[in-house]
Structure 1
Amino acid sequence: MHNLILDIGNTNSKIAVFKGNEMVHYHVVPKLDEALLIDLIDRFAIQNSILSTVGADAGELVTILNTRTKYIAFTTKGGAEDGLFSEIDNQYKTPSTLGLDRWAKVISAHRLFPKQNCFMIDAGTCITYDLLNDKSQYFGGSISLGIGMRFASLHHFTKRLPLLKWDKDADIPIGVDTETAMQNGVLQGVINEVEGFIALQNEKYKGLKIVITGGDAGFLRKQLKNSIFAPQIIYDPYFVLKGLNEVIAFEYVQKN
């Protein structure tokens, strides 16, 4: 059974094909078009599909998925009323505004780390922080500016600061001129923010697992590898995709 998993973000679209629980194909594109989608469905003989989007109009893509695969509509609804992951106690006050990618991470944590405290940091266009506790309760989290957005904001809201491109593999520089001062301020600020959030959650929850995912997760992993939190950190760039695949698995088990 091959499942097609699509995660359409603010910047890029992530595409994965799973055979059961094994990911057999993955790539990232700036824009997911209909021709690419049809090619993937045919090439892998896709049977099931699911899509998460942060807000882009995906109507034409959904039409293709509905026509050529068994498409599972993914929403933040779920619980006792319809049985979908009813064991997760979702206390988010406005589920209709909860990002599908955030909900997918909660599902992934529930399946991969059952009955454990799991703190998820997703470093993408925005940086999101979400926690699922060992009682399978989810109360929400935090949304912060992503790294690229911080650099863009410095340029946009000032008259003289340049728009910088940053090297994810480079070390954080010392601020000896304007450009390196900007780099140091943004990048060190992000690390301080992340460490602050982790420290706060460690005070509240025992045995905390910290999952780092998203496009800029590699940078965070590198910067935190020698921190006191390093033993707790799990680097998983496919965490959202795994959660979406679990939704398909759940549906398949329930109906077959």
Structure 2
Amino acid sequence: MNVVVDSGNTFSKVGWFQGEKLIRYTKGLGFEELVQAIRADVPQNVFFSSVGMDSQEFKNALDLPVNVWNLSPDTRLPIHKNYDTPDTLGADRIAASVGANFLYPGEDVVVVDMGTCITYDLIDSSATFQGGLISPGVRMRFKAMHSFTKRLPMVDPEKDPVLVGKSTRQAMQSGVMNGVLAEMEGIIEKYRHKSPDLRVVLCGGDVAFFESSLKPPIFVVPELVLIGLNRILTYNVSLQ
């Protein structure tokens, strides 16, 4: 059994895999909870990806006789990278792209990851990561309006807001949520103009706000990053 860890700035998500099959996953774990969850069901391999946590600190805390792998810019990947600054490429972006290529081999795929930022990344039919774009996420937009003005309140996202707001709060909801939806539709359409048979795959915590509003065909794979991390792990194990 393999365990993969996607560790963010505050919380972590962990997935247990039997081969390429995701058996279960847990999210919202603090550091101690993460370590205890893995120690409760000891795997053969652990693959660790983090934006802020030191991999050696994690390995020391785990203190298990297992192989611990760490995702870095030097990690061997089952895809190619056509990117001018590969050392700056976010781990979530590359893991999601690997996951998309694994699920849909031989296809042009755009991965829309809706987290703190919204990323749109193209992995083409030759298994080459071609790059993409990064845009402010939903909550970042609400926070920016609140932080950079004196009177606009802090607003939480809501599904299907009215188009014509009758209050400041409604107007902010409409501006952010309908604005993000229009952005996504426009960018996806530009990608489809380049590749008519493009497959669109969505992941990330804010997908639920938009998945029913986007024009089909759209494929939602909530655990795409975990799937990609496991694919990178199995690829590296096979090369040993």
Q: If the TM-score is normalised by the length of the shorter chain, which range does it land in?
A: over 0.9
For the residue of structure 2 that corresponds to 1:221, the secondary structure is: coil
Contact 1:52 1:100 in 2 (8 A): yes
Answering whether residue 45 of structure 2 is matched by residue 48 of structure 1, we say yes
1:98-247 alignment, distance < 5 Å: 98-167=89-158, 170-173=159-162, 174-224=164-214, 227=215, 230-231=216-217, 233-247=218-232
CA positional deviation for 1:247:
1.4
Report the equivalent of 2:82. Answer: 91
How far has the Cα of 1:145 moved from its partner? 0.5
**Distance in 2 (alpha carbons) for counterparts of 1:196 and 1:56:** 36
CA contact (8 A) 1:76 1:103 kept: no
What residue identity is the alignment partner of 2:23? V
Gaps in structure 1 of 5+ consecutive residues = 79-83
Distance 1:66 1:128 in 2: 35
Aligned equivalents of 1:191, 1:149: Cα separation in 2: 15
* SS of residue paired to 2:154: coil
Q: Note the C-alpha offset of 1:140.
A: 1.1
* Structure 1 range deviating more: 12-21 or 153-162: 12-21
Deviating beyond 6 angstroms after TM superposition, the runs of 4 or more aligned structure 1 residues are none
Q: Distance in 2 between matches of 1:66 and 1:129?
A: 37
SS in 1 for 2:83: coil
8 Å contact kept, 1:10–1:125: no
Q: For structure 2, which runs of at least 5 residues remain unmatched after alignment?
A: none
Partner of 2:73: 76
Identity across the alignment (%): 37
Shift of 1:67: 4.3
What is the CA-CA distance between 1:40 and the residue it aligns to?
2.0
Amino acid in structure 2 at the alignment position of 1:137: T
Cα distance change on mapping 1:110 and 1:146 into 2, 3 Å: same
Deviations 1:152-211 (A, max 9, x none): 0000000000001223xx321231110000000000000011011100000001311100
Q: Is the 8 A contact 2:96 2:111 kept in 1?
A: yes
CA-atom RMSD in angstroms: 1.8
For residue 109 of structure 1, report the CA deviation from its aligned partner.
Answer: 2.0
Task: Determine if contact 1:49/1:71 at 8 Å carries over to the other structure.
Answer: yes
Measure, in 2, the Cα distance between the counterparts of 1:10 and 1:191.
26
Deviates more, 1:103-112 or 1:122-131: 103-112
Determine the C-alpha separation between the residues in 1 that align with 2:230 and 2:116.
23
Q: Which amino acid aligns with 1:198?
A: I
Distance 1:147 1:115 in 2: 32
8 Å CA contact 2:96, 2:225 repeated in 1: yes
Q: CA deviation at 1:54?
A: 2.4
| C-alpha displacement of 1:12 | 3.6
Aligned partners of 1:16, 1:3: CA distance in 2, in Å? 8
- Give the TM-score, by structure 1 length: 0.87
**Residue identity opposite 1:244 in structure 2:** L
